[in-house]
Amino acid sequence: MSTTTAGSVAKPTAPVNAWAGALRLLDYHVIVYRRTWKGSVITSFVTPFFTILAMGVLLGGFVTSDPARLDGATSYLAYVAPGMVASQAMTTVFGEVTYPVMGMVKWQKIYFSMTATPLGVKDLVLAHMGFVTFRVLTVSAVFTAVLAPFGVFESVWGTLVAVLVQLLIGLAFATPIYAFACGLEDESAFSLIFRLGMIPLTLFSGTFFPIANLGPVMETVARITPLWQGVDLTRMLVLGRMDWGWAAVHVVYLAVLTALGGMWAVRRLRRRLVQ
């Protein structure tokens, strides 16, 4: 459908809703990923496997500790495995919503051509978040399957739910980072995001050691980070040691962060595209 006025060019109307528009972009993301998926195999699957082998199996063989000090894990490998799964979900997101978003806004200007069609800004954001969800799901599922033979998962149902939880963890990072990236004038700030954001979060959010070792102040800081929220929830599930109160806090925290980041992303991208 289109609307016209005297002396003007016909313009297509926007889709009925954002979900319909986002589905129309499915083929774009599928085609792009079919051409580029080989480049993500090493970083998404091979690197995590060797990391867990080095940190959990080899180094873990020298680490002995009371399970009470490892959040209930019977070994260091069992402790670090769920942390690595959650951390990998975050790392995947950083790779998908920084430079790719900058490219679509600044270098290739794909977003500008998309919004020249009936597609709206919400459609673009939802479609990209849908692709990010797919990437996180595949990476987490494969990583979990690779870890399964090591016997580190105590609860089958908990492990299955934990894979789905990675989607929430991923979105909690994806929406605010996407919002930040789509409004940047250049890519120079990405180095700060990786060095001052991703790396410290990976090291000090309970992935490799309990945050109680950080001291009272830093432990409090670690607890309010989204990665610790995700790591703790994932570890609860795979070890079968649920604290339902904390689990509810984690889910609400991650869901609220996702929603707020999504609203910011739509607002910031719309402002960028109409400049």
- The pLDDT tens digits of the residues spanning 85-119 come to 999 999 999 999 999 999 999 898 889 988 888 88
Whether the predicted pLDDT of 64 surpasses 70: no
Whether the predicted pLDDT of 133 surpasses 90: yes
Half-sphere exposure of 173 (CA within 13 A, CB side): 32
Q: Are 161 and 237 in contact (CB under 8 A)?
A: yes
Q: List the domain boundaries for the chain.
A: 14-273
CA distance 97 to 43: 15
Whether the predicted pLDDT of 12 surpasses 60: no
Give the DSSP H or E segment for 63.
none
Whether the predicted pLDDT of 29 surpasses 80: yes
Whether the predicted pLDDT of 14 surpasses 60: no
Q: Percentage of the chain with pLDDT > 90?
A: 49
Q: What pLDDT does 164 receive?
A: 95
Instruction: Check residues 138 and 74 and name the one with the higher pLDDT.
Output: 138
Q: What pLDDT does 265 receive?
A: 95
Q: Which residues pair with 3 in a beta bridge?
A: 11
One-letter amino acid for residue 10 of the chain:
A
Q: What pLDDT does 150 receive?
A: 81
7 band by pLDDT with thresholds 50, 70 and 90 = very low
Whether the predicted pLDDT of 137 surpasses 90: yes
**Segment 119-129 mean pLDDT:** 90
Return the biggest CA–CA distance within the chain: 80
Q: What pLDDT does 9 receive?
A: 38
Instruction: Check residues 158 and 52 and name the one with the higher pLDDT.
Output: 158
CA distance 128 to 144: 24
Instruction: Check residues 172 and 46 and name the one with the higher pLDDT.
Output: 172
**Segment 170-174 mean pLDDT:** 97
Q: Is 203 helix (H, G, I), strand (E, B) or coil?
A: helix
Q: What pLDDT does 69 receive?
A: 66
Q: Which residues contact 240 (CB under 8 A, 6 or more apart)?
A: 154, 155, 158
